[in-house]
């Protein structure tokens, strides 16, 4: 469902009630009313929204990465990794299925992609449920983390050079040697 400011939401509900009360019983007729109203309220939402400035966006990114992406990745490590191997589940799934670890990741990620696509479809259909912020954060965090895990699988497979943990501070900028995993 479209996120609307509260007065707009009340007006939409009132208009739907009026449309239903006036004998407009067909789903098609009600959907036409909803589509017309949605166009009006999309414009209202655009006009009333708070602009995402570069500073606000940077704060948003810092928050999302620290509080959602990293927390989810770290909290799920115990469930999905064994020992020191963050990619364990993909290699174990590859052994069990006869596929590559990357193919296994693709299949696991596909479940999240379908779920997100369904949630996006729910946004466009006013008859569907409205998902909570927490649900969106969980789904989007998982999806982003799958991309990080894919990146790690690709780096491991192709021997890509990855800077050490201190590269941002300018310290120890030697790349990780993927050939010697004990390093």
Q: Identify the H or E element spanning 91.
A: helix 88-97
Asked if residue 58 belongs to a domain, the reply is no
Average pLDDT rounded to a whole number, residues 75-100:
89
Instruction: Give residue-wise pLDDT tens across range 129-175.
Output: 889 999 999 999 999 999 999 999 999 998 887 766 655 555 555 55
Apex CA 83: angle with CA 80 and CA 87, to 5°? 45
Task: Give pLDDT, residue 78.
Answer: 76
Could you tell me which of 163, 166, 169 has the C-alpha nearest to residue 177? 163
Asked if residue 111 belongs to a domain, the reply is yes
Asked if residue 14 belongs to a domain, the reply is no
- Residue-range definition of the domain harbouring residue 138: 81-169
Q: What is the pTM of this model?
A: 0.65
Instruction: Give residue-wise pLDDT tens across range 20-46.
Output: 666 555 666 666 666 666 676 666 667
Asked if residue 25 belongs to a domain, the reply is no
Asked if residue 135 belongs to a domain, the reply is yes
Asked if residue 165 belongs to a domain, the reply is yes
Q: Based on the structure, what is the number of domains in the chain?
A: 1
Asked if residue 100 belongs to a domain, the reply is yes
Average pLDDT rounded to a whole number, residues 64-68:
89
Asked if residue 130 belongs to a domain, the reply is yes
| Residues 6+ away with beta carbon under 8 Å from 141 | 68, 69, 72
């Amino acid at each position: 469902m479209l996120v609307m400011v509260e007065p707009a939401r009340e007006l939409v509900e009132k208009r739907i009630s009026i449309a239903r009360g006036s004998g407009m019983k067909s789903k098609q007729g009600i959907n036409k009313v909803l589509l017309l109203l949605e166009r009006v309220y999309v414009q209202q939402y655009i006009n009333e929204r708070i602009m995402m400035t570069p500073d606000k966006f940077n704060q948003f990114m810092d928050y999302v990465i620290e509080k959602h992406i990293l927390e989810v990745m770290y909290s799920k490590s115990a469930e999905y990794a064994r020992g020191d191997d963050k990619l364990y589940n993909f290699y174990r799934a590859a052994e069990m299925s006869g596929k590559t670890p990357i193919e296994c990741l693709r299949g696991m990620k596909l479940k999240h992609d379908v779920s997100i696509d369904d949630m996006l479809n729910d946004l466009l259909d006013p008859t569907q449920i409205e998902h909570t912020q927490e649900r969106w954060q969980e789904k989007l965090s998982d999806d982003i983390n799958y991309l990080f895990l894919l990146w790690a699988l690709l780096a491991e497979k192709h021997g890509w050079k990855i800077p050490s943990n201190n590269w941002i501070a300018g310290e120890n900028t030697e790349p990780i040697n993927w050939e010697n995993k004990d390093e």
